[in-house]
Amino acid sequence: MLINLFTGYAVAALGFSVSLLKEASFTPKNLYAYLYLASIFLFGISILLGSVATVTRLLDFQATAQKIKHRRDRAKAHQMQESHERSRLSIKALKASAGEQIAWAQLLGSYFIYCLLHFR
């Protein structure tokens, strides 16, 4: 924000300096002429550097946004992989649990039949 403010001031000052040349009463002499030319040159440099700073800030914002997007995409892919792994393990556990239940049912069923036949 400050960059834009100072660039705006430099543009205004350069415009004012150039508009002074249109006036017939403005005739800088000796040292003042050199200072006037130096000020125009320095205002031009200030405008150029302010524009470069603004463009580099925009490029930096764009690079940061892309970096965040890639990081988010990697995290999402990792999360999906973990979710898939958890669901795969849950299915294995469910199958194992179902197998245990069947085994217990068979064991209890055979024990029940044994008791019926033995204790009649």
- Say whether pLDDT at 66 is over 70: yes
Residue 37: which of 50, 12, 20, 24 has the closest Cα?
Answer: 20
- Say whether pLDDT at 120 is over 70: no
- Say whether pLDDT at 60 is over 90: yes
Domain boundaries, the chain: 2-94
Q: Which amino acid is at 107?
A: L
Mean pLDDT of the chain, nearest integer: 82
Mean pLDDT of 88-98: 69
Q: Which amino acid is at 81?
A: Q
Rounded to whole angstroms, how far apart are CA atoms 91 and 72? 28
**Which has more pLDDT, 8 or 120?**
8
What pLDDT, on a 0 to 100 scale, did the predictor assign at position 59?
93
pTM: 0.55
Query: Is 67 in contact with 27 (CB distance < 8 Å)?
Result: no
Query: Is 38 in contact with 17 (CB distance < 8 Å)?
Result: no
Residue 40: which of 59, 57, 76, 15 has the closest Cα?
Answer: 15
Residue 25: helix, strand or coil by DSSP? coil
